[in-house]
Amino acid sequence: MSDVVLKNIGKTYLNGFCAIPSMDLTIEEGEFIVLVGPSGCGKSTLLRMVAGLESITQGDLLIKGNKVNEKEPADRDIAMVFQNYALYPHMSVYGNMSYGLKNRGTSKAVIAEKVNAVATMLGLEELLERKPRELSGGQRQRVAMGRAMVRDPKVFLFDEPLSNLDAKLRVQMRMEIRQLQRKLGTTTLYVTHDQVEAMTLADRLVVLNKGVAEQIGTPMDLYNKPATPFVAAFIGSPSMNLFDANLTEKGVSLSESLYLPLPHAHRGSIVWGIRPEHLAIVDEQDADFALEILAVESLGAETLVHGVLKDGSVQGKAMVVRLAGPHNPELNSLLWLSAPATHWHIFDAITQQRL
């Protein structure tokens, strides 16, 4: 049975603003779903609707086959981990982790057993007597996770749980969350605006744009076959290079002088794209583009070259190239690049759909 089903779910706020027009999503048991999108796209609204913290103004929300639209958060069998962890400052780690169970009238012995088991799993055994202020950011994050886990919920909800941690800890906690979720097999809905976090955590991603799911799929589906230029630009770092172009009988026309031959039935205005990692340095006679180099970012394992194109009417358009390993091209010199057709992405400029 599907675990969580959103059927034509919508949200219009009291002031009349429609944050989610209509959303359909079926989450399978044990699946890790990440909601991702830019600020204000409706991620938190959607998560809070599932949590019961925000009313649902249209459609049905089913958890384990039961409609829960009207149910209180506590009766939905879900546990939420917030961005700010929301720990009780005056309570110990043990107190924070046991609070939910105590409220439900669970016996002391069962609480102790559960809290100790979860604390062991999270490496918190030594910290049970401490107060939240006596913990590091990563430890607090673990306590917030632990508090959700002891309740043994059907569904975990995460609202940007790693955004207060430094970059290194974020990577570590991201791996821990993924491993724990696999081990527990708990269905998870996770919100982030960070596409790398989204890609590394998700079984499936939902890319939201203005409250609408632009695409739902595995990280590799979205990377290899983005459905729209919005998804193409959002997934992948640095972003895909995207250009307005025309598709004619001669191929993709980026300018009057620049044609990339491609047999394709479609004609008319398109958005043409290629990822920075799919451009290759070639000799001048084999090149599709000449890029004037404006900036070079050397990251050791890779080099990012930022420049502007020198061809016809695309002249002056920015392009980014991602090269494996160290490179040291001279600023203001030209880089000759080829864009292999197997890596092109083509979208209808009007419908914004992938062709």
Are 18 and 211 in contact, with CB atoms under 8 Å apart? yes
Distance in Å, CB of 25 to ligand ATP, minimum: 15
Paired with 209 in beta bridges are 212
- Nearer to ligand ATP by C-beta: 9 or 245? 9
Sheet holding 78-81, edge to edge: 78-81, 155-159, 187-192, 32-36, 204-209, 212-217
Note whether 326 binds ligand ATP by CB under 6 A: no
HSE (side-chain half, CA atoms, 13 Å) at 80: 19
SS3 labels along 80-129: EECCCCCCCCCCCHHHHHHHHHHHCCCCHHHHHHHHHHHHHHHCCHHHCC
Task: Give the residue, chosen from 31, 44, 158, 309, that forms a contact with ligand ATP under the rule CB under 6 A.
Answer: 44
The DSSP symbol for 275 reads: -
Note whether 285 binds ligand ATP by CB under 6 A: no
Distance in Å, CB of 52 to ligand ATP, minimum: 15
Note whether 55 binds ligand ATP by CB under 6 A: no
Residues with Cβ within 8 Å of 120's Cβ and at least 6 positions away in sequence, in order, are none
Number of other residues whose CB lies within 10 A of the CB of residue 261: 8
Question: What is the Cα–Cα distance from 267 to 348, expressed in whole angstroms?
Answer: 9
Task: Give the residue, chosen from 5, 27, 32, 43, that forms a contact with ligand ATP under the rule CB under 6 A.
Answer: 43
Q: Which stretch binds ligand ATP (CB under 6 A): 40-48, 106-114, 176-184, 194-202?
A: 40-48
> Could you give the string, one character per residue 134-173, with x where binding to ligand ATP holds by CB under 6 A and - elsewhere?
----------------------------------------
Q: Which stretch binds ligand ATP (CB under 6 A): 41-49, 87-95, 102-110, 343-351?
A: 41-49
Task: Give the residue, chosen from 3, 4, 34, 42, that forms a contact with ligand ATP under the rule CB under 6 A.
Answer: 42
Note whether 45 binds ligand ATP by CB under 6 A: yes
Distance of CA 352 to the CA centre of its chain: 21
Task: Give the residue, chosen from 9, 34, 41, 314, that forms a contact with ligand ATP under the rule CB under 6 A.
Answer: 41
Note whether 17 binds ligand ATP by CB under 6 A: yes
State the sign of the Cα–Cα–Cα–Cα dihedral 228, 229, 234, 240. positive
Are 277 and 320 in contact, with CB atoms under 8 Å apart? no
Number of other residues whose CB lies within 10 A of the CB of residue 107: 10
- Nearer to ligand ATP by C-beta: 211 or 236? 211
Pair type for strands 302-309 and 258-260: unpaired
Q: Which two tokens stand for residue 168?
A: 């290194």
Distance of CA 139 to the CA centre of its chain: 24
Binding to ligand ATP in span 184-213, by CB under 6 A = 193
Distance in Å, CB of 193 to ligand ATP, minimum: 5
Q: Residue 121: what residue type?
A: M
Note whether 312 binds ligand ATP by CB under 6 A: no
Q: Which stretch binds ligand ATP (CB under 6 A): 25-33, 37-45, 103-111, 199-207?
A: 37-45
Note whether 88 binds ligand ATP by CB under 6 A: no
Note whether 19 binds ligand ATP by CB under 6 A: yes
Note whether 78 binds ligand ATP by CB under 6 A: no
Note whether 36 binds ligand ATP by CB under 6 A: no
Note whether 322 binds ligand ATP by CB under 6 A: no
Paired with 212 in beta bridges are 209
Distance in Å, CB of 234 to ligand ATP, minimum: 13
Interface with ligand ATP (CB under 6 A): 13, 15, 17, 19, 37, 39-45, 193
